[in-house]
């Protein structure tokens, strides 16, 4: 809009200076369409329409993008069957990619909860299960990269009580993960 305003002002000033130099009975044909206020409004509308048409596709594209799935999602409130303790450990989780695999280690109710929370086409389920000290802790860090990298760490407890630990995570399938 500033460009149109500057053009209009410059042409108006030039026209006034030309009119002052001519005799009073001489008329100047209007050759510049920017001089009239009606055309000025039309130019402003065209510039505004051009601006909207330029910016609107990028705004619509950013608003309609599919939300990205988080690299890792903690799944809580689910207890697996005892068979998971034979296959999984604290250093090597059980990796489940399909619903049939999940059915081996979870009850029907828990399986329904997992399927409701996890998109198995885009995510894998990691199950860490072990028996150990009640003070054992499993933590993870998400490293900044694309695709992200996840590093799991075990901090062993110091108590002598034996407890069962289960941690279930949904990890996006393109994310690299490992133990440290």
pLDDT tens for each residue of 91-125: 999 999 999 999 999 999 999 999 999 999 999 99
- What are 163's strand-pairing partners? 132
From CA 93, how far away is CA 83, in angstroms rounded?
13
Phi and psi torsions of 107, nearest 5°:
-70, 170
Tell me the average pLDDT across 68-78: 92
For residue 156, name the pLDDT band (cuts at 50, 70, 90): very high
Alpha helices in 93-156 (DSSP H): 99-105, 108-117
Task: Give the per-residue pLDDT at 96.
Answer: 95
pTM: 0.63
Q: Which two tokens stand for residue 13?
A: 């000033």
- pLDDT of 56 strictly over 80: no
- pLDDT of 65 strictly over 90: no
Contact criterion met (CB below 8 Å) for 35 and 11: yes
Task: Give the per-residue pLDDT at 180.
Answer: 87
Tell me the average pLDDT across 48-69: 64
Task: Give the per-residue pLDDT at 51.
Answer: 62
Q: From start to end of the chain, where are the E strands?
A: 72-75, 94-96, 123-133, 137-143, 149-155, 162-172, 176-179
Sheet with strand 149-155: strands edge to edge: 137-143, 149-155, 176-179
Tell me the average pLDDT across 45-68: 63
Q: What is the pLDDT of residues 1-55, one digit of tens each?
A: 576 676 656 666 666 565 566 666 666 555 555 556 666 666 767 666 666 667 6
Backbone CA torsion sign across 100, 105, 107, 113: negative
Interhelix angle 2-21/37-63, nearest 10 degrees: 170
Tell me the average pLDDT across 65-85: 87
């Amino acid at each position: 809009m500033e460009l149109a305003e500057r053009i209009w002002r410059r042409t108006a000033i030039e026209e006034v200076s030309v009119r002052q130099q001519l005799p009073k009975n001489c008329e100047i044909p209007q050759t510049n369409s920017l001089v009239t206020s009606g055309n000025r409004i039309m130019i402003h509308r065209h510039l505004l329409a051009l601006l909207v048409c330029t910016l609107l596709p990028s705004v619509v594209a950013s608003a309609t993008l599919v939300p990205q799935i988080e690299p890792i999602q903690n799944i809580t409130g689910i207890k697996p069957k005892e068979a998971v303790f034979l296959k999984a450990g604290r250093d090597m989780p059980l990796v489940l990619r399909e619903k049939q695999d999940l059915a081996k280690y979870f009850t029907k109710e828990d399986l329904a909860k997992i399927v409701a929370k996890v998109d198995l086409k885009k995510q894998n389920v990691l199950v860490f299960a072990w028996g150990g000290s009640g003070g054992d802790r499993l933590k993870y860090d998400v490293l900044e990269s694309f695709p992200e990298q996840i590093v799991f760490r075990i901090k062993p407890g110091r108590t002598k009580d034996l407890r069962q630990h289960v941690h279930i995570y949904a990890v996006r399938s393109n994310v690299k993960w490992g133990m440290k």
